Amino acid sequence: MAETQNEKTIMNMAIVMGSMQITNRLDLEDTKTKQIILGAYVTAQAFVVGLSYLIQRRIQAKKDTTVLKYMDQPKPMSGEEPKLITTTNMDYDLEQNAQAQKQALIGLALMVFLHFQFGVIRPLIVQSILPVKNALQSKWAQVHVFGKPAEGDLKRPWKADNPFAALTGQTAEPQSEAAEKAAIKKAEKAEAKAGSKSESKKDL
């Protein structure tokens, strides 16, 4: 059974609190302890990056060119309208995985800078656990590593998790499939109409 958003948030909080308790019991001034923590962090990050490249190769190997249409929701408060996106399952999955790769590498670069520039060591413990957990639980990993069908919670387009939903009491109300299809048809008609107007102007 898929883990709910509330369960994910609670589990992440438990990992953070547990890592803090472990950190408080460690002698962070001891060189050997620092080396073990740094080694665990580097190993975890290497696993996450390696997993993302494994997923990339599996997506490319499947070559799933099934057409995927969805309404790309704008960022809150942007004032923009939802945009119709037409792509393929392969291109969509590659894009989602590439974004995860980029975030992992940015996080790695930031933590390496903080550690070697300022001697930060405490966050490395939790960052040795959470990224691995999140990578394995990502929707693209569930589909391309664990072989789960892309249906239900794993149906494309994949909704981004809100890590603060459980804390604020907010629950996302995803658009129904019927409403999504209606929105896509409306956007397609609007694009067709705009295209016909453009062609008419060229003929004049």
- Confidence class for position 193, pLDDT limits 50, 70, 90: confident
Burial pattern 13-25, b for ≥16 Cβ within 10 A else e, equals eeeeeebeeebee
- The residue with tokens 């999955």 is 93
> Does this model's pTM top 0.85?
no
For residue 201, pLDDT beyond 80: no
Average pLDDT over residues 172-177: 59
For residue 8, pLDDT beyond 80: no
Residue 20 or residue 101, greater confidence: 101
State residue 127's pLDDT score.
92
Name 85's bridge partners. 70
State residue 1's pLDDT score.
45
DSSP 159-198: PPP-TTHHHHT----PPPHHHHHHHHHHHHHHHHHHHHHH
- Confidence class for position 174, pLDDT limits 50, 70, 90: low
Contacts of 197 (CB under 8 A, 6+ apart): none
Q: What percent of the chain shows pLDDT beyond 90?
A: 56
> Residue 84 corresponds to which tokens in the numbers above?
């119709």
Q: Which of 158, 156, 140, 154 is nearest to 48 (CA)?
A: 140
Give the separation between CA 114 and CA 34, rounded to whole angstroms.
14
Residue 54 or residue 190, greater confidence: 54
For residue 200, pLDDT beyond 60: no
Residue 139's alpha-carbon distances to 1, 64, 127, 155, 167, in angstroms, are 13, 16, 20, 9, 22
Instruction: Write the pLDDT tens digit of every residue in 94-128.
Output: 999 999 999 999 999 999 999 999 999 999 999 99
Instruction: Write the pLDDT tens digit of every residue in 23-77.
Output: 888 998 999 999 999 999 999 999 999 999 999 999 999 999 999 999 998 877 7
Residue 148's alpha-carbon distances to 52, 143, 198, in angstroms, are 17, 5, 44
State residue 186's pLDDT score.
85
Instruction: Write the pLDDT tens digit of every residue in 146-173.
Output: 999 999 999 999 987 654 444 444 444 4
